[in-house]
Structure 1
Amino acid sequence: MDVMTSPVVAVGPDSALDEVCDLLVTRELSAVAVIDRGVLLGSVSEEDLIHRAEIGTAAPRRPWWVRLFGSNTALAADYLKSHSLHVTDLMTRQVVTVSLSTPIDEIAALLEIYRTRLVFVVKGERVVGIVAGADLVRALFSVRKSLPRPVSFHDVASIRQEIVVALRSEAWPSIGEADVIVTNGVVAFWGGYLSEQERKASLVLAENTAGVRSVDDHRVPLDIAYAMV
């Protein structure tokens, strides 16, 4: 409810392709809802209009043996998607819906699991909004703007302790407590790491700690460290 876009731009199942294209282009949308008598039937998104005969991007003609032994339903569906001018033939009927109280972390997971750009927010059977990836980015931007700036008056011991506690709370670090040294706001990492992703993640963790001015990384990959033993 806090991040959704409302009201929802919608068309009816009897609408034409030209109307959808006009809405997507003029309003800079990634999708429109298809609603009939208040009930959500599906959506038409940019992805639904990528493979079109008019612009030469229709799915390539299948080999003869695919046409002979393939699914008649699938072949006909491909043709409809690339040639029909009717929303009812173009729309995606399987859409993801959430409620007004769905937490945004669940929405982020749904966008990833279903590989979709947006989810529809419903109240009963009525669509009251959408949440797209862009809405989550706007929420991130708003939160980042409101965050207090890091202070620099933390003493060395408290900065080091905060980093060590944060590292312990994560499952990925291979760095030990003795490998973290803080001097005048500069964090030095020693020892080794298992992966480049781990190395970068630990740098970000330190950089996000209040009072840290910079980070010096003296670690080596653990496979090199083992080879030297």
Structure 2
Amino acid sequence: MLAIDVMTPSVICAQPEMTVQEAAKRLVENGISGMPVVDANGALVGIISESDLLHRVETGTESKRSRWIELFSSTRDLASTFVKEHGRTVADVMTASVISVDGQTPIADIAELMEKCGIKRVPVLRAGKLAGIVTRANLIRALASASPPVQHSAASDREIAEAIVAALHDKRWALSKENVIVKDGVAHLWGVIQSEEEERALCIAALEVQGVKEARAHLSYPTIMPLM
């Protein structure tokens, strides 16, 4: 699936000249935690979110720094924080460096961007202008709408076992070929593991292989020999 398949095309936006209070009101009234900032030509110039409004002088939530911390902070950082906490317009407090994608970006890439950059929304651009937005909620809706893979397989138990081994070949927690046995479509997993997470991962990986009806774990932990 691509960004264009899951994005919200009608986007609630802010304008750079809007006051901080107006932006906060728009977030609250629409039940959203952030929105793109666009100029009069519809070009994306930033994004404003709850985190940009978290520390504000009006609510007494501005940062309280000790003298020692201020002493070792750069004047640039101190001035930037002051603008964030005292600025009056969206342009003063918004995040200007925005990560964006186009409509043909795979949602797998978008999910990776969100996780890597710690962001909750990614604007979608078309010819430099805002065309939509993909949020974490959009990705969850895509998951909710997806149908689980249908298992159709005429493969033999031996072929299914080989497919399980092949699916695990690049995993550090993989099992060796002799430890994967399939009988009537039921995968029996044997071997030594280091954690419960490995057991769950092995079972899930096996169930993803076509033809596997069930995964049964017969796994054990390493034997610890007592010190003499």
- In the alignment, the residues of structure 1 paired with residue 66 and residue 165 of structure 2 have an alpha-carbon distance, to the nearest angstrom, of 61
Match of residue 220 from structure 2: 220
Whether the aligned pair in 2 keeps the contact of 1:187 and 1:212 (CA below 8 Å) is: yes
Structure 2: unaligned runs, 5 residues or longer = none
> What letter corresponds to residue 116 of structure 1 in structure 2?
I
Q: Distance in 2 between matches of 1:225 and 1:100?
A: 53
Deviations 1:42-95 (A, max 9, x none): 0101111222334443211x2224434532332232233223332111100110
The match for 1:35 is 38
- Equivalent residue in structure 2 for 1:75, among 72, 75, 78: 78
Say if 1:174 and 1:194, in contact at 8 Å, map to a contact too.
no
Distance 2:191 2:55 in 1: 53
Distance 1:86 1:66 in 2: 28
Task: Write the letter of the residue equivalent to 1:202.
Answer: L
**Deviation at residue 203 of structure 1 after TM alignment:** 1.0
CA distance in 1, matches of 2:171, 2:156: 27
- Residue type of the alignment partner of 1:207: L
Q: TM-score, normalised by structure 1?
A: 0.82
Measured on the aligned residues, the alpha-carbon RMSD in Å equals 2.7
Residue 115 of structure 1 and its aligned partner are, at CA, apart by 1.9
For this pair of structures, how many residues does the alignment match? 222
**1:91 maps to which residue?**
94
What amino acid does structure 2 have at the position aligned with 1:107?
I
Q: Residue type of the partner of 2:48?
A: V
Gaps of 5+ in 1: none
Aligned-partner residue type, residue 12 of structure 1: Q
Query: Of 40, 45, 50, which aligns to 2:49?
Result: 45
For the residue of structure 2 that corresponds to 1:140, the secondary structure is helix
Task: Answer yes or no: is the 8 Å Cα contact 1:4–1:135 preserved in 2.
Answer: yes
- 1:172 match: 172
Indicate conservation of the 8 Å contact 1:172/1:198, yes or no: no
Which of 14, 17, 20 matches 1:14?
17
Identity of aligned residues (%): 36
C-alpha displacement at 1:196, in angstroms? 4.2
Cα distance, 1:154 vs. partner?
A: 6.6
TM-score, L = length of structure 2: 0.83
1:64 aligns with 2:46: no
The answer to whether the Cα contact below 8 Å between 1:20 and 1:32 also exists between their aligned partners in 2 is no
